[in-house]
Amino acid sequence: MSEPILQARAAQLDAEDGLAKLRERFTLPEGVVYLDGNSLGALGAGVPDAVADVVRRQWGELLIRSWDESRWWTAPERIGDRIAPLIGAAPGQVTVGDSTSVNLFKALVGAARLAAPGRTRMLVDATTFPTDGYIAASAARMTGLELVPVDPADAAGAFTADTAVVLLNHVDYRTGRLHDLPALTAAAHAAGALIVWDLCHSAGALPVGLDAHEVDLAVGCTYKYLNGGPGSPAYIYVAQRHQDAFDSPLPGWNGHAEPFAMTPDYTPAQGAARTRVGTPDILSMLALESALDAWEGVEIEAVRAKSLALTDFFLECVAAYVPQGKVEAVTPAEHGRRGSQVSLRTDNAREVMAELISRGVVGDFRAPDVLRFGFTPLYVGFADAERAARTLGHIFG
């Protein structure tokens, strides 16, 4: 299909896009196509003023009074309840704080302590982001479990009576492959195991349905599709049915039932608050709270529909613009197996991405040969997808 036809189609799709006005809720560099929101989301338009208020008034004027008067103390649960609808969770099950790695450690050790006695294995996604693997290995050593890597595509067959805990990624960070959360969760439960999901590359891009599918525990970051900012705090989900028995391996004072009693013995707080550890990072926490304003009135199902349309159109444009044989899509074509990114394999991928960025199309590179393009439907449009593919074609032309 010719360039004018694809550009006209992109313009028509943008005109029909019901989420197009959401772009106004973000601050983006002029003339740049930003397709790296799967690594760092864009700046919310209201975040600078919100952070300035936290720094100048809440901290600068109110000082320590802000723990109560500015509601700093309740921020981890309050913001968790704002994230909850985006991952299909009822209130009271999500707490914001710490990093994804720290929360994953809590979740895995906590899940192992919840598991039925006599189980000996912890299964982990063999293709996982490396840190998840490191954390899982440490958690397995601590809890006396054997760590067993599995391919998520074949994982259900590996769930046995010896399986205590399963850790899987909802979307593969390198390929963008979407794994079957409902079916794999059900299979883990059928084997009597608990399952922990890493939602870093799905939350804010597609429906998750933690409660509907009876997930046990989940963790995720907030700086990708949730646009919380660099290093913004992560979150942990503990299903309500597990909260009373959840035994965190990091029992900090913030998770104590009476944190200001300063008692030598630890009594965990009720509910998801028991996952808290130390003093929250308030500046990042409240920047995230402001960033979540971009989700007001947005249905995650509409976001998913646009995500699929964007990635379909991008793949169509790549096929039209890039000479045959120069790139290979490693992201599944099927909608049910695709997240919100497209990964293309090519020679000299690092150099190709550097050239794309120099021409105003920002994606990223994963060793050894993968170009990643993340599509954040809140601010990416169809003209962006067409320009990115056209620029890629010019590089190979």
| Same domain for 306 and 287 | no
Q: Is residue 24 part of a domain?
A: yes
| Same domain for 207 and 172 | yes
The upper half-sphere exposure of residue 199, i.e. CA atoms within 13 Å in the direction of its Cβ, equals 33
Which is it for strands 217-220 and 194-198: parallel, antiparallel or unpaired?
Answer: parallel
Question: For all residues of the chain together, what is the average pLDDT?
Answer: 97
Q: Is residue 325 part of a domain?
A: yes
| Same domain for 363 and 319 | yes
Specify whether 14 is catalytic: no
pTM of the entire predicted model: 0.97
The tokens of 94 are what? 């999500």
Selecting among 98, 125, 198, 364, the annotated active-site residue is 198
The domain that contains 242 carries what CATH number? 3.40.640.10
In 3-state terms the chain splits into helix, strand, coil percentages (rounded to 5) of 45, 15, 40
| Same domain for 377 and 305 | yes
Mean pLDDT throughout 308-336?
97
Quick: pLDDT tens for 43-89: 999 999 999 999 999 999 999 999 999 999 999 999 999 999 999 99
CA distances to 72, 257, 287 from 275, in Å: 17, 11, 21
pLDDT band, very low/low/confident/very high, at 2 (cuts 50, 70, 90): confident
DSSP 8-state secondary structure symbol assigned to residue 270:
S
| Same domain for 330 and 288 | no
* Closest by CA position to 380, among listed 296, 329, 310: 310
Place of tokens 């009135």: 297
Neighbours of 74 (CB within 10 A): 12
Q: Is residue 119 part of a domain?
A: yes
Q: Is residue 57 part of a domain?
A: no
Q: Is residue 62 part of a domain?
A: no
| Same domain for 144 and 275 | yes
Q: Is residue 22 part of a domain?
A: yes
Name the domain boundary from 262, 295, 328: 295
Rounded (10°) angle between helices 382-396 and 300-321 = 30
The tokens of 164 are what? 């205590």
Name the domain boundary from 268, 295, 322: 295
How many angstroms separate the first and last alpha carbons of the chain?
16
Quick: pLDDT tens for 215-242: 999 999 999 999 999 999 999 999 999 9
- pLDDT of res. 326: 96
Specify whether 338 is catalytic: no
What residues are paired with 27 via a beta bridge?
A: 43
| Same domain for 7 and 89 | no
Specify whether 106 is catalytic: no
pLDDT band, very low/low/confident/very high, at 397 (cuts 50, 70, 90): confident
| Same domain for 225 and 133 | yes
Q: What is the Cα–Cα distance from 145 to 168, expressed in whole angstroms?
A: 17
Q: What is the Cα–Cα distance from 36 to 115, expressed in whole angstroms?
A: 38
Quick: pLDDT tens for 198-212: 999 999 999 999 999
Specify whether 129 is catalytic: yes
| Same domain for 81 and 153 | yes
| Same domain for 32 and 76 | no
The tokens of 290 are what? 């402001």
Structural domain for 141, as ranges: 71-295
Q: What is the Cα–Cα distance from 134 to 219, expressed in whole angstroms?
A: 15
Q: What is the Cα–Cα distance from 121 to 160, expressed in whole angstroms?
A: 9
| Same domain for 143 and 207 | yes
DSSP 8-state secondary structure symbol assigned to residue 179:
P
Q: Is residue 84 part of a domain?
A: yes
Quick: pLDDT tens for 138-172: 999 999 999 999 999 899 999 999 999 999 999 99
Contact call for residues 191 and 161 (beta carbons, < 8 A): yes
pLDDT band, very low/low/confident/very high, at 357 (cuts 50, 70, 90): very high
Selecting among 25, 121, 177, 224, the annotated active-site residue is 224
Q: What is the Cα–Cα distance from 369 to 330, expressed in whole angstroms?
A: 11
| Same domain for 145 and 123 | yes
Q: What is the Cα–Cα distance from 264 to 240, expressed in whole angstroms?
A: 28
What residues are paired with 166 via a beta bridge?
A: 123, 195
In the predicted model, is pLDDT for residue 1 greater than 80? no
The upper half-sphere exposure of residue 101, i.e. CA atoms within 13 Å in the direction of its Cβ, equals 9
Name the domain boundary from 295, 317, 348: 295
Mean pLDDT throughout 109-124?
98
Q: Is residue 191 part of a domain?
A: yes
CA distances to 139, 167, 220, 372 from 273, in Å: 21, 22, 17, 36
Q: What is the Cα–Cα distance from 233 to 291, expressed in whole angstroms?
A: 12
Contact call for residues 173 and 129 (beta carbons, < 8 A): yes
The domain that contains 330 carries what CATH number? 3.90.1150.10
**SS3 call for 82:** helix
- pLDDT of res. 166: 98
Contacts of 257 (CB under 8 A, 6+ apart): 267, 268, 269, 270
The domain tally of the chain equals 2
Specify whether 224 is catalytic: yes
